[in-house]
Amino acid sequence: MHTSLRAVGINAVFMQTYIGGVSCPYICGRHLDHGVLLVGYGSAGYAPLRFKEKPYWIIKNSWGENWGESGYYKICRGPHVKNKCGVDSMVSTVTAIHTSKKE
């Protein structure tokens, strides 16, 4: 991911009870019902017998700083996870192009 933010659609059912850590719901629909910003990614320790690390997306939510991890949500990503909660289904970004008009 470059420096620009990505607006993504997500199924927010499991976000309602999120309090921290990397969320990787076992069952999560792909029906998109909430818009958030994808702002980055990372990885955390995981069960060593299954995966060495647990990669995740960092998502900024609009529910305020008292929700989640100061307004942010971590959802699992990677080769073992395909489109968890629909996060890969609808991604949008905007790129500004500077143009100069010669007179």
Active site residue 61: yes
d(CA 38, CA 44): 18
103 falls within a domain = no
- Residues 38, 93: Cα–Cα separation, whole Å: 10
The residue from 2, 11, 31, 34 that is catalytic is: 34
* Contact between residue 23 and residue 74 where contact means Cβ atoms under 8 Å apart: yes
Structure pTM? 0.78
Could you tell me if residue 68 is inside a domain? Answer: yes
Which structural domain range is residue 85 located in? 6-92
The answer to whether residue 101 is domain-embedded is: no
Q: Is residue 66 among the annotated active site residues?
A: no
Task: Write the CB contacts of 20 (distance below 8 Å, at least 6 apart in sequence).
Answer: 68, 69
Q: What is the pLDDT of residue 71?
A: 95
Residue 41 lies in a domain: yes
Number of structural domains (the chain) is 1
**pLDDT in the model for residue 67:** 94
User: Looking at 2, 11, 61, 83, which residue is catalytic?
Assistant: 61
The CATH number linked to 28 is 3.90.70.10
Say if 1 falls within a structural domain: no
- How confident is the model over 28-72, as pLDDT tens digits? 877 899 999 999 999 886 655 555 678 899 999 999 999 999 999
Separation between Cα atoms, residue 44 and residue 21, nearest integer Å: 9
- Residue 58's SS3 state is strand
48 found inside a domain: yes
Nearest to 37 by CA among 72, 15, 8: 8
